[in-house]
Structures are given as C-alpha cells and as structure tokens.
Structure 1
Amino acid sequence: MLLAQATPPKSDDKQAPGAHLQIEDFGDSIIARLNDVFAKAVQNLRKPNKIEFIPTFEAYPTLGIDASMIRVKEASNPKFGDYQFEMVMQISRRLLSEQSVKEPPPVVAKKIVAALEQIELVEKYQLVNAYINVYISRKHLGKRIAEISRKGFSLPKIAKKHVIVDYSSPNIAKQMHVGHLRSTIIGEAIARLLECFGFTQSKVKFDNDPQFKSEAYQCVVALQNFEPDTVKAWKMIYFATIYKRLGITDLVERGESFYQSRMQSLVQELEQHQLLVEDKGRKLFFPHECNIPMTVVKSDGGYTYDTSDLATLKQRLSEERADWILYVVDSGQSEHLENVFATGKQLKWFDAAQKRVEHVQFGLVLGEDRKKFKTRSGENVKLTQLLDEGVRRAEEKLRTKGKEGEFTPQEFREVAESVAYGCIRYADMAQSRTSDYVFSFDRMLDDRGNTAVYLLYAYARIRSIARNAQVTREAINSFINGLPSDDGVLLDHPREVQLAKQILKFSDVLLSVLKSLQLNKICDYVYELATVFHDFYGECYVVSKLPTEGENGQQAATTKVNLNRLVLCEVTADIMQRCFNVLGIRALERM
C-alpha cells in the first residue's frame, strides 16, 4: 500500500461537492471571483441601506440558499456571453413554494443585476429574461496574459489541512500487473494536483534508502537461494523500478506488518466494549445501515482485510490526524469501503462534519474484446511487459515518421519512453474515472484527436516558434516588462481573444478537478487549448518573412515577429506544460 501525504481542507459529506475546500484567495479563478460578486449581490438585496428595501429577500436565509451555494457557470454559447448566472428561476421558485411570495424571475434577475459590483474583470452584465450573462473585459484579458507571462499562473489559495492519498497497493508476493495501472496513475495525478495547489508534501521514498540498497546488494546469494526475506527485498526494488518508469517518487510504503500491533489493539478494544458478535467461531462487527458485517477475526483466529483496513483507518485518523483521506481503489471495493467508513463513524473515530473520508473509485481496464485485459493464455498482463511493449511501439512510430535521425540513440530512447509512458497515462485519465475503458496501443499512439501524441507534438511545435525565430525568453520578458503598468498584451483579433479566454480557464478547470477528482476534465481542457491555439495560429501571423533587397540587388528576407502574439504562444505552452505535470507526462521540447 502506498501513501502520498499532503495537507488540504476540512469536509462534510453532506455538503455540496467542493464545499469542503475553503478558498482564501481567488487567484486567477474567474468563476470563484464571479461567485463572490453574485453572492454579495444577493446578500445586499437584504440590506435597505444598499438599495431599495425588498421584503421578499428577507426570506433568503430560510430557502436553503446561502453564499456558498451561489454558482456562476461558463456560457454554453458565445451569444450568451462568457459566463452565466442561472439560479434566478430557482430562487424565484423557492420564494413561491416556501414563502408564498410571487416574485417573477425577470424581476428577481433585475434586482440582482442592480446590486452587482462593477469590477475590472467584467466588461458588462447583460440581463436576458431570467438569465444574467457576463462578458469578460478584453483589457483585463490582456493584462492577465502579461502578468501570467511575467510571474506565472496564480491558482486559488485554499486553507490547508492534512490529506492522505491511498493508492497502488501491489501485493509483495506477486508482480505488478495491469490491474494496478489505474490506481497508480490516478492516485499519483491526484497527489500532484494537491501539490499544485500548494499542499505541502510529506512523503517517504522507500526505494532511496542507502542502507536498504546496500543490504539488498549484499544478499544476492540469498536471493539466488530464494530466502524469503531477501526475495521480499528484491520485490521492493522491483516495485521501485516500475514507479520510477512511471515518474512516481517520494511515497510512503506501508505493508500489513506495520498495522499488526494496531490490529491486535483494535480487536482488544472492540472486545472490551462488547461490540463483537461471535458466529461459527468468527468475530463480527455490524455497522449500522450496512448489509454485510465486518469480519474482524476469522474462525482460525487470524485477521482479515476488514481488520487491517479498520486498523489503517483508525491509525490515519488518530495518529496521523488526517482531515481528508482518499482511497483510490476500483469500483468493486465500494461496498467494502462503505462498511469500513460506516464502522469508523459508528465507533466515533471521526465526525463527517469535520473529517472527509472518501472512495475515489474507478472502472476496469478492458482488452479489445471488452473483457478484462489479459494475455492470450488468460493471465494478467505484467506491468513491465506493458511498458516495454509501449516503448517498442513508440520507437516504431517515431521511426516511421523519420524521427530517429534527429536524435542520438540515447535521446531517441528517452523520447520513445516519454511518448509511451505519456500515452499510457493519458489514455487512462482522458476517460471518465468511473467508467471501464478499452486499452489500445493503436489509439493511444494515434497523432490525431485527443491523444498524448497529438498534444506532445502540439506542445513541441509551439515551443519551436520562439526558438526558430531566435527570440529568447529574456527578450520576451523584456517586452512584457516594458509595457505600461496599466496595459497588457494587445488582443486585436477575435482568435487572440478566444485563445486568451481559453488560457484563463486553467485555474477554474484545476479547481473543478480538485472538487470532483475527475481528471479527464484536465485532458479535455488541454486538448481544447491546443485546438484553439491551432485556430489562432492559422489566422494570426506570429512570425512573418518580409522580402527585402540585399547586397548587390539580391533578394533577401527580413523576419518580423509579433511579440504580443508570441507571448500568447509561450503562455499557451506554459499552461500545457503545467497540465502535463499534473498528469505525470513529460513534455518534450523536440519531437
């Protein structure tokens, strides 16, 4: 079992998704800022010293609608602006059903618009029947692009508490196989996402202990003789090699032996309080509202997965004082984990209003026949075999495109590995986490559509623009720093504006994923960003070659660079790289 430890916020499982995330600063989040503006507008409607007193809005506190529930969403169509507030009809209906106050939606919407704060972010608010459309200021977009180029993206600041991510969990007695793939990939990406929001990491890397490696080396003979302890050490090194290939480091390894004494203490505690029921030699605990009891002690006196999982939960809550625990485990374990969590609540190990314990479930990896991914002989596909096959196919793909001659042999191998591992990761995370997905190398390595290969090529091409124009990052920074303090990057063309808007969605996308833990939203975003960029690049010249007359009347060419547009290119690549970092994909400057 591998644990990535970090530090996020408090939770209540009765709250709306993401309500446990306490935003202390909006950063570059447009939606969080607009939510705040609309929440204040609704609150101001109840204050007679702000605008004309409206008695009906005194009822708001009893309608179950408070500031934390106010939601602005991205507009589904550009003709409705950039963002929309759609809660007006809901508010109007609640006023009628719960307070018998008939306040037509257009009237409610008009009063809210009158109370909205005018901020630089917003060009205008537009009232259309019961909907309030929000248009983002072009000047604000240009200023934010310049600031992002200068200092980087500013994600919302969230109140930090302690979180533990439980994922991967290979069996020390067996080789890692494809069944471990999703938990490992998804769990690592979630840990990276938490780190992206500033949750300080507290991890122990078991494969980097010099004493451990030294002892393992000295025990080669014992390994050849299959001595149990030495074989176990070899397995640990084997797992570390797999994790290194997947770019996963700094993990805490917790085997069942760590919890052995804690399991004994747990059983003693439950027996002392007479909470166990004996049945045919077994000792059972019956959590409330659960169909299946927890088998704490088997008839032969041994412990079960129930025992170890309960001891694990208690240790994390009481000893490590976790506020948020995420179990990245397949959907087949849902009922078991529900029982574990229910037992923890019943024994008062945690209060759901203060602590958050949740199952981050995922579907199966299927073969082309839509059955569990197996070898032809029906065995589980070993993870090493899967990774090796991915590298082989990536090398073949690159050779077909004539890329081998552009790199040294070592560089070519590294590029192939980055492509292969990136494709395997991306194909997994591009799917809805809760759905099964069909594993196909052919689709993964396709350079068209929403694939890692397409995005890695797109990223490399974008990075090559400044390089080929011989414009350094220092020159771009000098251009940005030379802009007047109240000005930003010029956005004169509709495609420039469209790209800037897509870039500025980054913060809200990551915040949304932090709430839902649906990583496919990041994949969708970065693919759309690449698509919008290609539309921009097709219509907006960044680098132009102007014909001039050289010496002796010979024709020559002068390179003209539009630095405003080049800034958009570099910021686009920066955002793509940050998305890759969260997904655990190594970005390549050349492909």
Structure 2
Amino acid sequence: MTDQLSKEQQRLAELESEISKFEEAITNIRQGDFSETSDELNRAMTENTKLKFRLEILNKAISNERKSLKTAPQVSGMISIVSHLKDVFQQAIVAAFPELNNAPCVVTESPKADYQCSSSMAICQLLKEKQIKTSPMEVAKKIIEKIPYSSLIDKTEISGPGFINIFLSKDYVKQAIHSILNDGVKPPQTEKKRIVIDFSSPNVAKEMHVGHLRSTIIGDSIARLLEFMGHDVLRINHVGDWGTQFGMLIAHLEDRFPDFVNVSPPIADLQSFYKESKKRFDEDEEFKKRAYDRVVKLQSGESNSTKAWQLICDVSRREFQKIYDSLDIKIVERGESFYQSRMEKLVKELETKGLLEADDGRFIMWGDKNDDFGGIPLTIIKTGGGFTYDTSDMATIKQRIEEEKADWLIYITDAGQATHFKAIFSCAKRAGILDSSKIRVDHVGFGVVLGEDGKKFKTRSGDTVKLAELLDEGLKRSIAKLMEKERDKILNEEEMKEAQKNVAYGCIKYADLSKNCKNEYVFSFDKMLEDKGNTAVYLLYANTRICSIARNLGEEFLKSLPKLKKETSIELEHVKELKLAKVLIQFPDIIDRILRDLTINTLCEYLYQIATTFTEFYDVCYCIEKNKQGEIVKINTSRILLCEAATAVMSECFKILGLKTLQKI
C-alpha cells in the first residue's frame, strides 16, 4: 500500500517538473519574437495543458490513496464494486491516453478472475483512427501502469489479446463481510427520488384472476426494492371503477335490490352479478338504454347512482383486500373515477394548445414526431363526447408529475400494452407534461401465464383462473407436500400453518419472479414445490439450515453473537470460504443492475447463487466439529459468522421479493 503511494508521488513529482520546464519555456518564448516561434509556443502550450490535466488526475488519485491509507482498517458499508472499479480504471485510461475524449471504460465480472476490464480493444481502435499504431496488449500495459491505488485491488494481469483481469484484495473482502455483520445489509448510495409505481389494477365488479397475479407480484417486488433503496415510493392501484359498465351494474342493482339505498344488498358473488347484468345489457334494448342513462347520472353526481356505485365498489374492494392480505401487498387504491375532473381540465388544456384534431366524430392527439411511437394517435374524446382509457392515462401521468411531484414513473402491465404506453409518453412529451430529461418513466411489460399444456392458463371449463382459487389451491398443495415430507413430526400445529402459508405464497411468487418478466411462463404447482433447483422451497430450506447453525449452539452462544461479530477476525483461508464471501459482497452490484432495467429475476438468480455457493462451502468447511459421542469439540467462529453474513444477505433478498422466511421447515 505504501509502495504504491510512493510510486504515485514519484510520478506526480516528475509531472510537476515537466510542467515547470514547459512553463519556463513558454515564458521565454513570449519574451522573444512571438511571430517566429508561434508553432513552438502552440506546441508548448498544448503540452502544458495535457500535463496539467494528467496532474489533476494524479492529484485526485493520490488524494484517494491517502484517504484509503487512513481509513482502510475501518472500511464500513457495502459499496458497488463494479462502480468503484470503473472509477479507478477510468482514471487510469484518462492518465494513459489524455489525447482521447470519452474513451470507453468497461468493467464486468469474470470467470477467469474476480472482474475484468475489457476496454483495450476499443481504445486501440480509437488510437488507430488518430494514426497512432499500437496493439490491445500495449494499451492494456499502459492502463495498468496508470492504475491509481485502490484498497479493493490485490493484483491485475493481462489475459488474451488485452483483457485486464482484476483480483480483489482479501483484506477488503474481510472488511466487507465485517460490515455486513456489524452494519447490516445496506443498499448502494443513490440520490433519493419520489417514485410512483402503478401495478395490480383490477376492475371493480370482476374478480381478480391469474392475469392480475404477475402485475401484483412484480409491482410489489419492484416497490420493495425501491423502498429498500430509501426512495419515497407511492404504490398506486389504478382500479377500473368508472365507465359504461357501471351503468348496467347500477340498473341491475336497482332491479334486484330496490331498497339498496336503505338496506345494504347481500351481493356475495359479484362476478355472477356482473355476468347477469352483462347478459341483460347485451339482450335487452330497454335495459341497455336505462344503463346508459345511469352512466350519465353517475357522472353528473346523482345521489342514488353514486350510492349504488359506492356499494358495488365496496364489495369489490373487500374481495381485492383478501388477496392483498394473503400476499402481503401494500397498495393505495386510486381508481379511474379519481381522475374524472382532471380529465376535463386536461381536455380543455389540450384544446387550448391546439393539440386535438377532429377525426370522424372523435378528437385525437398525435405524439412527438421525433419519437418512434409519435405516429400512433390517442383518442382523447370519443364519438358522443365521452372519455377513453387514453384520456385517463394522460390525466394520470399529468397528476403524478404535477401533483405528486414524481421524479420517476413506473407502470406494470402486460406486454400487450407496451405500444399504448409508448404513445402515452410521446403525447405527454408533446403536451409539455413530461420532460424525459428530468423525469424517468418506465413501462415494465410482462408475458402471459401459460398452463402446463403450453396454452393460456385457464380452468378445465375454459374459464379464466380466479386468483383466490389459485391461492387456495396453493395452500392445499403446500400442506400436502409438508405432510409428505413428514414435517408434521417436527413442527407443531402453529409452525405447520406458518410453513404452509409461507411455502404456498412464496412458491407462487418466486415461480413468477424468477422468470424474465418479459417472457411467458408455465404455471406448475408440481415444479414450484420441488425442493431442488432454483425454487422457493429449496431457497427457504437453505436459509433455514444456515440460520440453524448458530442456533444449534444454544442461547448462550446466540447472546454472544453481537460481541463476536465485532471482535472476531474473519479468516478466509479455504478457497470455498473466499468464494462465498466474494458472492455475498456482490449484493450492491446486483441491486444496481436491477435498477437499470427493473428485471427482478436477476435478484432470484443471485439468491440461488448464494445458496449453491453456500452448499459448496458447507460441504467441505466444518463450522462445528463433534466427537463420536456427539459432543462439540471445536467451534470455528469465523465460519459461523460467515454463515450469519450469508443469511443476512439472503434475508434481505427474500424481503425484496416479498417472501417470508421460516425458522423451521
């Protein structure tokens, strides 16, 4: 560490000497005949500028090194290793090749080392464009010569045509594990934002079905991740509680329960109630006319129609809440009705700006002509004067930006709505509502759920699978699996119930989240309840086993853990110990990666990697040694603390995914 600093200081002194000579030369030239020596003056000034730039880079590097030397023994907090290494290698590249502007710096994980910088080939090409002949190997050598000191780097070496392999310092890995044990699993630092995330979004008077499962689970997990990062997150349930269908529901309610204003109607099966009203709407012209009349009355605020609408919404809301309670989903309902007055104001604003165009009785709006989806018009006012989903979604984006002061908007819907949202974003830009340079907006689209026959997941009768029934079936399958494994002989009644719920709901969630959400996935209880492979059961079991290692040493040992975490030196002598530790400290990088593209399956893959790496470690590294009589003869405290770090990281991953862990399984 000190040797590296000395080298940097020597390089700094050499540069300072060169700059001094050039500055002296410039002064002498200026005092002489400027016109005859202008070329020499320009050359000297150019060199002077380059050297000053390099000096600034090295000064920054030395400042960082001195800080590292001072604080290295007290490193705390988890950091993004990839981000740190990019900063280090960016400094090296700038110092090695000051003549290049914006030279690429690419650092990734590597199977041949811990990390790898693969910038040499691209830099070599840029140099050739400047008529500078070199090779990727020579470029890599120059980069390595200029790498500033970093307490994370143990060594570097050149591999292949010019890849730079990077090996982490074992001391840093130990310090990072100590940080996990004593400071907890912390998120990478980031600027805090106000984020509105729109997910789940069922329709009133209709039961939630399997199609709502993905939006609800994916949206909740992304929200949990953002909350873990410390962002101010507003979870919105954009419920379909407005529109033509309510006219027929209100008219049907009036016929079935004439005294609904005074006596709350006993609507037990809202789905059947909806089907009855829809059948009448399709077959009875007089009923249809009355239904349209009720829509007008509802939108004008007529008391009886409003009362009927509220009753229907309340019945749906109670049914939705049962699902959300089962899946531990926290969400704020804000239906389409919330935006009615805002839609009216929006339309007036768009008219004033001249953005609406008459089109065969309706009024449409085109998006930003510079966008790929600007050529897809929105229907803002339909024939007859009513509003559409386009109007509603334009009003929501305006409300979330202007009233909620959102910095980031996220919509979780099926992939089929991707074009619709691209058009919404484009029109919002054109209307001056959305400034994409200041506000991030994402549509996370997901594929459909398939049955084991590879077709869209439906019941045997061809109906859509109700989400409540799916969850009930999960509970039945879960308890059957636990009984098959004779868990009832180990767990008491209360523990069995907890295991049943956590396994059932955990399996349903994880089977979805572990797949790339953009793709379709096959729903199979048999596969998701397997206790091998990348499944919730396997991971929950692995985490429970890790937790039990320290617990098996008794209460006294558990009480001593806080002190041991602070005072025990982590030893990573075995290759499997070091491998596990290096996987654990990748957590901030995994989080950074997910935040870029909102792909939660990346976290599932990482969780599975921890579990499998832990198994490799546990198979060859004894934490507790016993004699033939079963008596404990040796406790490897360092390894037990490594186990504690593993379960700490795994537990945080489970929380983000919305899975509940178990003490026993």
TM-score category (smaller protein):
0.7 to 0.9
- The number of residue pairs the alignment matches comes to 525
The corresponding residue for 1:160 is: 192
How has the CA–CA distance of structure 1 residues 405 and 89 changed in structure 2, closer, same or farther, with 3 Å as cutoff? same
1:139-175 per-residue CA deviation (whole Å, 9 max, x = no partner) reads 2222221221122123211011221111111101211
1:170-192 per-residue CA deviation (whole Å, 9 max, x = no partner) reads 10121100000111111111111
Alignment of 1:28-107 (within 5 A): 28-45=79-96, 57-61=97-101, 64-65=102-103, 70-75=105-110, 77=111, 80-97=112-129, 99-107=130-138
Alignment of 1:524-543 (within 5 A): 524-543=605-624
Mean Cα deviation higher: 430-439 or 132-141 = 132-141
2:100 aligned counterpart, secondary structure: helix
In 2, Cα distance between equivalents of 1:74 and 1:219: 65
2:476 partner amino acid: R
2:470 aligned counterpart, secondary structure: helix
Are residues 1:451 and 2:535 paired?
A: yes
Alignment of 1:284-433 (within 5 A): 284-287=364-367, 288=369, 289=372, 290-433=374-517
Q: CA deviation at 1:539?
A: 0.4
In 2, Cα distance between equivalents of 1:188 and 1:204: 10
The corresponding residue for 1:188 is: 220
Residue of 520, 523, 543 corresponding to 1:439: 523
In 1, Cα distance between equivalents of 2:228 and 2:576: 29
Residue of 106, 127, 137 corresponding to 2:158: 127
1:32 partner amino acid: S
- Contact (CA 8 Å) 2:78, 2:585: kept in 1 or not? no
In 1, Cα distance between equivalents of 2:166 and 2:77: 18
Percent identity over paired residues = 42
In 1, Cα distance between equivalents of 2:122 and 2:404: 42
- Contact (CA 8 Å) 2:452, 2:523: kept in 1 or not? yes
In 2, Cα distance between equivalents of 1:407 and 1:151: 33
The corresponding residue for 1:115 is: 146
1:25-73 per-residue CA deviation (whole Å, 9 max, x = no partner) reads 984221111111111212233xxxxxxxxxxx34422xx44xxx63310
Q: CA deviation at 1:494?
A: 0.9
How has the CA–CA distance of structure 1 residues 556 and 585 changed in structure 2, closer, same or farther, with 3 Å as cutoff? closer
2:218 partner amino acid: I
In 2, Cα distance between equivalents of 1:490 and 1:303: 67
1:520-555 per-residue CA deviation (whole Å, 9 max, x = no partner) reads 1111111111111111111011111135xxxxxxx6
2:579 partner amino acid: Q
- Contact (CA 8 Å) 1:29, 1:155: kept in 2 or not? no
1:306-352 per-residue CA deviation (whole Å, 9 max, x = no partner) reads 00001111111122221111111111001111110000111121222
The corresponding residue for 1:476 is: 561
In 2, Cα distance between equivalents of 1:563 and 1:353: 51
Are residues 1:278 and 2:310 paired?
A: no
- Contact (CA 8 Å) 2:77, 2:179: kept in 1 or not? no
Q: CA deviation at 1:229?
A: 2.2
Are residues 1:544 and 2:620 paired?
A: no
Are residues 1:518 and 2:593 paired?
A: no
Are residues 1:239 and 2:315 paired?
A: no
Are residues 1:223 and 2:265 paired?
A: yes
2:264 aligned counterpart, secondary structure: helix
In 1, Cα distance between equivalents of 2:495 and 2:263: 36
1:60-109 per-residue CA deviation (whole Å, 9 max, x = no partner) reads 22xx44xxx6331000x2xx321000011112112323x33333212211
Residue of 169, 173, 180 corresponding to 1:141: 173
1:586 partner amino acid: K
1:158 aligned counterpart, secondary structure: coil
Q: Which has the higher helix share?
A: 2
The corresponding residue for 2:11 is: none
1:395 partner amino acid: I
1:124 aligned counterpart, secondary structure: strand
Are residues 1:583 and 2:634 paired?
A: no
Mean Cα deviation higher: 407-416 or 488-497 = 407-416
1:361-399 per-residue CA deviation (whole Å, 9 max, x = no partner) reads 111111112121111111111110000000100000000
In 2, Cα distance between equivalents of 1:148 and 1:220: 60
Q: CA deviation at 1:353?
A: 1.7
How has the CA–CA distance of structure 1 residues 32 and 386 changed in structure 2, closer, same or farther, with 3 Å as cutoff? same
Q: CA deviation at 1:464?
A: 1.0
2:127 partner amino acid: L
1:497-528 per-residue CA deviation (whole Å, 9 max, x = no partner) reads 11111111112111111112111111111111
Larger Rg: 2
How has the CA–CA distance of structure 1 residues 126 and 29 changed in structure 2, closer, same or farther, with 3 Å as cutoff? same
In 2, Cα distance between equivalents of 1:169 and 1:308: 13
- When the two chains are superposed, the root-mean-square deviation of aligned CA atoms in Å is 2.2
How has the CA–CA distance of structure 1 residues 241 and 556 changed in structure 2, closer, same or farther, with 3 Å as cutoff? closer
Unaligned runs of 5+ in 2: 1-75, 239-259, 268-272, 274-307
Unaligned runs of 5+ in 1: 1-24, 46-56, 207-217, 548-554
In 1, Cα distance between equivalents of 2:170 and 2:571: 9
2:631 aligned counterpart, secondary structure: strand
1:480 partner amino acid: K
In 2, Cα distance between equivalents of 1:119 and 1:412: 50
Are residues 1:566 and 2:640 paired?
A: yes
- Contact (CA 8 Å) 1:120, 1:137: kept in 2 or not? yes
In 2, Cα distance between equivalents of 1:574 and 1:161: 26
Mean Cα deviation higher: 167-176 or 113-122 = 113-122
Mean Cα deviation higher: 533-542 or 152-161 = 152-161
In 1, Cα distance between equivalents of 2:645 and 2:336: 46
2:658 partner amino acid: G
In 2, Cα distance between equivalents of 1:454 and 1:269: 55
The corresponding residue for 2:52 is: none
Mean Cα deviation higher: 436-445 or 147-156 = 147-156
1:254-291 per-residue CA deviation (whole Å, 9 max, x = no partner) reads 11111001111111112223221112211111223534
Are residues 1:501 and 2:582 paired?
A: yes
2:177 partner amino acid: I
How has the CA–CA distance of structure 1 residues 450 and 382 changed in structure 2, closer, same or farther, with 3 Å as cutoff? same
- Contact (CA 8 Å) 2:584, 2:649: kept in 1 or not? yes
- Contact (CA 8 Å) 2:451, 2:524: kept in 1 or not? yes
- Contact (CA 8 Å) 1:326, 1:357: kept in 2 or not? yes
How has the CA–CA distance of structure 1 residues 543 and 266 changed in structure 2, closer, same or farther, with 3 Å as cutoff? same
- Contact (CA 8 Å) 1:284, 1:297: kept in 2 or not? yes
In 2, Cα distance between equivalents of 1:477 and 1:30: 27
In 1, Cα distance between equivalents of 2:650 and 2:483: 26
1:264 aligned counterpart, secondary structure: helix
In 1, Cα distance between equivalents of 2:378 and 2:580: 54
Q: CA deviation at 1:204?
A: 8.7
In 1, Cα distance between equivalents of 2:630 and 2:191: 59
TM-score (norm 2): 0.76
